[in-house]
Amino acid sequence: LPAGLSQWFPALEVLDVSGTGLAELGAELLALPRLHTLLAKNNRLGGPGSLPKGLGQAPLGRSLRVLNLSGNRFAEVPPALLGLRGLQSLSLGGNRLHGIPPDIQELRSLEFLYLGGNFITAIPPELANLPSLSYLVLCDNKIQSIPPQLAQLHSLRSLSLHNNLLTYLPREILNLVHLEELSLRGNPLVVRFVRDLTYNPPSLQELAGRTIKTRNVPYAPSDLPENLVRYLSLASNCPNPKCGGVYFDSCVRQIKFVDFCGKYRLPLMHYLCSPECSSPCSSASQSSTSQSESDSEDEASVAARRMQKVLLG
């Protein structure tokens, strides 16, 4: 960076030096008291001295809100960043990180954290101590499990975990009351989810209730047992316009699975509303293929195959 930067642009608020081949960010940055956004993507940062010393104590350390260092060569989260207490957005995707330091919890103002495309194998429980974190991106890593403490991230709205090594989700994830989007494709647990669709078909009560609702079979409360009437009142329509099905699990909160084309909401960790529920962007050829398959396979197997195409393909 040029010397005298702070003298030339004392009121500078946004600086983008992405793709310039920088191997270090000079001390000139420290004296920019109004800089709130620094973009330094796709450079050669990551070696000793890549970041200026005293970053957390300088005026920049108090003003900076957005920092993007994706596409560089950092093997660890630079300790200097952990002093940026006002930082709201941090991106370190596409680096060479192998872990997340427990001291990440010091970034108490953090709302957006992007660590996708690294070599991270574990999530420290301390990550749950970020009270304002709303968007957490950990895709394309080597993460094998999710610590149940993540349920303490009560502000979390979007969680991206696709293309990792997850075999299960902790039940505590249901406590993420504001979670709206969840991405899971490319994990072993997706294969298990599809298998469960095959071997755990809906109950007879659900099948009967689904038929009554989808075919608009008329009935009066006096025609059916009270418990069945109550069960039918719990029916929720599938938001997929090409499905038209219903599901009956009103106690399991819906979360938007962003792996699905169209980002449709589905009951988390539970059965889908209908074996016929598939992505609305499915091609006509896929539909005809599935129809021919149904001649030789039972309905549950066809459902699993269709869902596998949506989740994995």
Is residue 1 exposed (0-12), middle (13-18) or buried (19+ Cβ within 10 Å)?
A: middle
- For residue 5, give Cα distances in angstroms to 15, 55, 81, 93: 11, 16, 21, 27
Domain boundaries, the chain: 5-188, 193-274+305-311
In the sheet with 37-39, reading across from the earlier edge strand, the strands are: 14-16, 37-39, 66-68, 89-91, 112-114, 135-137, 158-160, 181-183, 254-257, 265-267
135 and 158 Cβ atoms separated by less than 8 Å: yes
Q: Distance between CA 145 and CA 124 in Å, rounded? A: 11
161 and 181 Cβ atoms separated by less than 8 Å: no
Rg (CA), the chain: 25
Q: Distance between CA 302 and CA 290 in Å, rounded? A: 7
pTM of the model: 0.69
Residue 216, Ramachandran bin (φ over 0: left; ψ between -120 and 50: alpha; else beta) = left
Q: What is the pLDDT of residue 5?
A: 56
Q: Which residue shows structure tokens 């970041």?
A: 51
What is the phi/psi pair of residue 268, to 5°?
-65, 135
Is residue 87 exposed (0-12), middle (13-18) or buried (19+ Cβ within 10 Å)?
A: buried
Q: Distance between CA 107 and CA 81 in Å, rounded? A: 9
Contacts with 233 (C-beta within 8 Å, 6 or more apart), sequence order? none
Q: Distance between CA 35 and CA 15 in Å, rounded? A: 7
* Per-position pLDDT tens, the chain of length 313: 444 455 566 778 999 999 999 999 988 888 888 899 999 999 999 998 899 888 888 888 889 999 999 999 999 999 999 989 899 999 999 999 999 999 999 999 999 999 999 999 999 999 999 999 999 999 999 999 999 999 999 999 999 999 999 988 887 887 888 888 888 888 887 766 555 555 555 677 877 887 888 888 898 888 888 888 888 888 877 655 556 667 665 444 555 556 554 444 555 534 334 344 433 322 222 222 233 233 323 333 344 344 333 333 3
Q: What is the pLDDT of residue 165?
A: 94
228 and 256 Cβ atoms separated by less than 8 Å: no
What top-level class would CATH report for the domain 5-188? alpha beta
Question: In 10 A of CB 292, how many CB atoms?
Answer: 9
Q: What is the pLDDT of residue 181?
A: 85
Q: Give the residue from 167, 200, 281 showing the smallest Cα distance to 306.
A: 281
